[in-house]
Amino acid sequence: MKLNQFIWNNYKESKEGQEVIKLFEEGNFEEIMKRFIDEKNKSLENYNQIINAFSNSKNKFENNETAENIFNYFITNGLVLEDENGYFNVIDPNELNYLLNVIEPYSFYLSDLIPDFFFPYFFQLEFSKLQKICDNFNINIPSVPLRKNKLERLNYYLELCEIFHEFRESNELNPFEFWAFLYDFAPKYFGKEEIENLPTPTNIWLCGAAKDDYPDLVKSNSETTYFWGGNEDTKKGDIIVMYCLSPRSNIDFICRAVNDGVRDPFFHYYGSITLGKIQQVQPIHISQIKTDEHLKNLPIVKKNLQGVNGTQINNEDYKRILKLLEEKGQDISILPKLSSIDFKPNINCKNERDVELQIVEPFLLNLNFAKNDWIRQLPVRMGRGERNYPDYVFFPETTKGYEKGKMLLETKFIIKNNRDLEETFQQAHSYALRLEANKIVICDKDYIWIYIKINESFDRTKYLKFNWQEINNPDIFNKIKKLIAKESLK
C-alpha cells in the first residue's frame, strides 16, 4: 500500500507520534537505542563504544564529501584513533566482516552525521521485519547479495538509503519522521503478528542451541518466537529438531519455523529463521544418536553434529527420532509430522512450456476458466523503452499504456530454493503493481503458490502453497477455488 496520508498525519499529530519524532531529532544515542533496539544478542554498551569510536576518529573528511564517499572512506581507510602513544587502527582497511557485524551502531553514527541521506538501521537479526514493511508499503528493495560478496552485502545498506530517501521525498517526510515511520508507525500499524495455524511442513531441519540458549527455550510458551541461525531455504511450517550443544549434547526440543528462511545481508551466518511452537521433548543424548543403527550413518552425526545449523534431514531420519522419543515415553502424537502424501514429481515435464500445457492450463480449466479468459505473454511497458511479458494475465484490459488484469500467473520449470522463489515473486510483484492485479499465482512442475493482495499490498511471506498431488484432496481444491477460480475474480 501507499502511505495513507490521513492515517500518517493522525499519527504525526498524536502525542505519541510527536514524542517519537522528537526523540529521533533531539534524543541521544542511548535513549534511542534503548527504545528501538532489541537487546537480545546485542550489547548496547558495546554499541555506545563503537559509536564513540567513530565520533572520535581521526579520519578527516572534506566539507563537500558526499555521503557515499564518507561511507566508503571507512571501508578503504579503516578507523583511526589516537592515544598517548599516537595513532592506531581500530578497524583495518577493508575489514568487511567487522563493518557488517556493527552495521547498527555504524549506521547510527552515519545518520547523525548526514541525516538527510543515512538512516539508523535497527534490523540486524530481524531482516524479515524490514522486508514485511517494504512489501506492505510497496517499497521495492533489491535482492540480498550472495553470502560470499561481502562488499556488496555492506553496500546493500547504501542501496537501502537511496531507496528510502526516494520514498521519504515522495511522501514529504523529513528524516526524523521517516525514522519514526520505520520503527514506530509501521510496526504499530501491522500489530504484533500472531503465530497462526502453520502450513503442513515440507522439510525437516536440524539446528543447534548453545549453553546460554537452553534456559530461553525451556521457558518459551505458545507465543514465544526466537530469531535463529538456520537454512535460508527453510519454509514456513517446517519442522526444526533442536540439538542442544555441549554440555547437554541432547536433542531437547522440536520446533516449527514460523517464517520462511531469510537471507540477512548483515548476519554473520547469513541464513536465518524464526522459531515458534517450541516443544520440549525427552532428551536423546548424542551417545544414543551415534550408536543408533540408522542415525549413526548421517553425515552430520559422523561430524559429531558440528555445524549443525540448517542441516536438512529426511522423513525416515525424523521418523527414527520420533521412534526413539516414543521409547522414552514421549507422546509423539503431539509432535509435528510431514504430510503423508506420496508426492511424485511430474516426470513428463521437460521445460517451462510443458508445465503450462500439461499442468497449469488443465488446472485452470478445472477452475472454470475458458481459454479466452486469459492472455499469455501480454506485452506490458514497464519503463522507458522496456517491454515485459507476464506469462498469464486474467481478464485483461489491453488498451496500450493502460493495461490491467485481475490476476497474473508466472510459471517456472522448477523453483529449486528460496532464492528462486524470491526472484519469481519480485518479478510477479512488479507485474501485479503495474497491472493493478489483486492476486499472484506462481507455478512450477511440483508446486503452486498463491498470494492475495491485502490492504492494497502483497506480502512475500503470506501465501498458500500446495503440491500438485494435494489438489486431489476435495477440501484443498475447494479452498483454492474460493481464492482463484473464475467466479472469485468477477
Q: What is the pLDDT of residue 342?
A: 44
Provide the 3-class DSSP secondary structure of residue 68.
helix
Give tens-digit pLDDT for 164-208: 999 999 999 999 999 999 999 998 887 766 676 787 787 899 999
| Beta strand spans in 271-342 (E) | 271-285, 311-313
Task: Look up the pTM and report it.
Answer: 0.75
Q: What is the DSSP string of 175-204?
A: HHHHHHIIIIIHHHHH-PPP--PPPPP--E
Average pLDDT over residues 95-107: 93
* Three-state secondary structure readout of 115-182: CCCCCCCCCCCCHHHHHHHHHHCCCCCCCCCCCCCHHHHHHHHHHHHHHHHHHHHHCCCCHHHHHHHH
Q: What is the pLDDT of residue 360?
A: 92
Give tens-digit pLDDT for 227-259: 899 998 898 889 999 999 989 999 999 999 998
- Asked if residue 341 has pLDDT above 60, the reply is no
Give tens-digit pLDDT for 375-426: 999 988 776 656 788 999 999 998 888 889 999 999 999 999 999 999 999 9
Q: What is the pLDDT of residue 346?
A: 59
Residue 397 gets which letter from DSSP? B
Q: What is the pLDDT of residue 339?
A: 59
Average pLDDT over residues 79-106: 87
Rounded to whole angstroms, the Cα distance separating 322 from 328 reads 10
Average pLDDT over residues 212-237: 90
Rounded to the nearest 10 degrees, what angle do helices 15-26 and 29-36 cross at? 130
Lowest mean pLDDT among 187-196, 318-327, 422-431: 187-196
Give the rounded percent of residues in the chain with a pLDDT score beyond 90.
59
Average pLDDT over residues 46-70: 82
- Asked if residue 91 has pLDDT above 70, the reply is yes
Give tens-digit pLDDT for 115-152: 999 999 999 888 988 998 998 898 999 899 998 999 99
Cβ atoms of 394 and 408 within 8 Å: the answer is yes
Cell numbers standing for residue 228:
535463529
Rounded to whole angstroms, the Cα distance separating 55 from 52 reads 5
Cβ neighbours for 201, distance < 8 A, ≥ 6 positions apart: 235, 237, 238, 239, 256, 336, 337, 338, 339
- Report which of 136, 206, 193 is spatially closest to residue 460, judged by C-alpha positions: 136
Average pLDDT over residues 82-106: 88
- Asked if residue 343 has pLDDT above 50, the reply is no
How far CA 70 is from CA of 31, 110, 111, 178, in Å, comes to: 26, 9, 12, 22
